[in-house]
Amino acid sequence: MPVGVKDLIDVTGVPTRCGSAVLADAAPARHDAAVVARLRAAGAVVVAKTHTHEFAYGPTGDVAVEGPCRNPHDPRKITGGSSSGSAAAVAAGLVPLAVGTDTGCSTRTPAALCGVVGLKPARGVLPTTGVFPLSETLDHVGLLGADVETVAVAFSALTGRGIDPSAPIEGTVVGRPTDPYWRVHDPEITAAVDRAADALSCAGAAIREVSLPGIDELAATYQVIVGAEAHTTHRHWLAQRPGDYQPVTAARLQAAGAHTAADYITARRTRRRLTAELTARMLAEGVDVLLLATTPLRATPIGARQVDAPDGARVEVVPALLSLTLPFNLLGWPAVSVPAPEVTGLPAGIQVAAVRGGEQAVLAAGARIAIG
């Protein structure tokens, strides 16, 4: 199987430049990243390195030394990020499978905006050895594929755990979050989630509304944790060579330097507490998976940082593209985005996250949704 690999991930003999002039003179990698080595061992052929949002620090895919990555469905629109090129290459039919990373949205958001499948496994399932870090605490390796079956085959090859997306989901309890935090700004995406719930119900799943108290407090820890860890990685380059960064990236990193050790430790403790509380609550209510949109918006114009949403709201693009996905990096639960069937115009994504049942649960549910 031909595979594309995000240019944040080492491939032997090829420089890893992370979409930045900071690494313009990077030497060729001497070893494959662990996930690349596993794919090669399973028979995959790496055919390309793919575009990344600079150092993976952004959800749009239009900030990199090479310029923006363009959405195959409309070249004026973003792909989403940071695994921008991986999603675009699969959506354009160049490869059936690509490897990305996901620290807050970076596999699932571009998958949603480009109309492909994007899997973020549970934390720690796929090794990050040989992957340039954004946030060691929240980084995941992810997979993007043309369909659920392709992603399931690749995940099985990488882990030795057989995944059967055609397995029955009868009796699965599907929670639909109702808290204001999960607001969607595109009515057609909301309708697509409703149709996905109907498809799962027809397959024998039980659908129920759920609340995740504390979700806003949990989400607020994300920028502190990622910002503090990213600034620590980049502080020397940032001090010595700030002009080699794209201006947006440099500004974000410099702002992240304001986080104190107390801020960081408090965020880590809050995250740990709320992860335990929310997981226990969902398990006590018998919930197996959550069903929701992947993003509250579809692909926005390249370079736009605010847009007028279909519901009339003026929306900040960057936080919006992270909002519905980042909780599952903080929680460590596996999550998948699959293309929403029957939407008009640009693609949209439906997200399934597993409280229990792991990648098998999300891919089996995702397969039912993708069928429509």
- Hey, how many other C-beta atoms are within 10 angstroms of the C-beta on 277? 14
pLDDT of residue 161: 94
pLDDT tens by residue, 320-367: 999 999 999 999 999 999 999 999 999 999 999 999 999 999 999 999
pLDDT tens by residue, 103-146: 999 999 999 999 999 999 999 999 999 999 999 999 999 999 99
Residue 135 is a catalytic residue: no
pLDDT exceeds 90 at position 372: no
Q: 3-state class of 287 per DSSP?
A: coil
Largest CA distance in the chain: 59
Q: Quick one: DSSP state of residue 189? A: H
- DSSP codes joined into one string, 73-130: TBTTB---SSSHHHHHHHHTTS-SEEEEEESSSTTHHHHHHHTSEEEEPSTTSS--TT
What are 3's strand-pairing partners? 46, 97
Catalytic residue of the set 49, 77, 82, 337: 82
In the chain, the percentage of residues whose pLDDT exceeds 70 is 100
pLDDT of residue 371: 82
Catalytic residue of the set 84, 106, 135, 323: 106
Residue 120 is a catalytic residue: no
Nearest one of 92, 119, 96, 89 to 1, comparing CA atoms? 96
Nearest one of 124, 291, 321, 359 to 222, comparing CA atoms? 321
User: What residue ranges define each of the domains in the chain, with the CATH number in brackets?
Assistant: 2-371 (3.90.1300.10)
Q: Where does the pLDDT of residue 212 fall: very low under 50, low under 70, confident under 90, or very high at 90 and above? A: very high
Residue 77 is a catalytic residue: no
Beta-carbon contacts of 55 under 8 Å, excluding residues fewer than 6 positions away, are 8, 18, 19, 20, 22, 132, 134, 230, 234, 249
Beta-carbon contacts of 121 under 8 Å, excluding residues fewer than 6 positions away, are 140, 141, 142, 143, 155, 334, 359
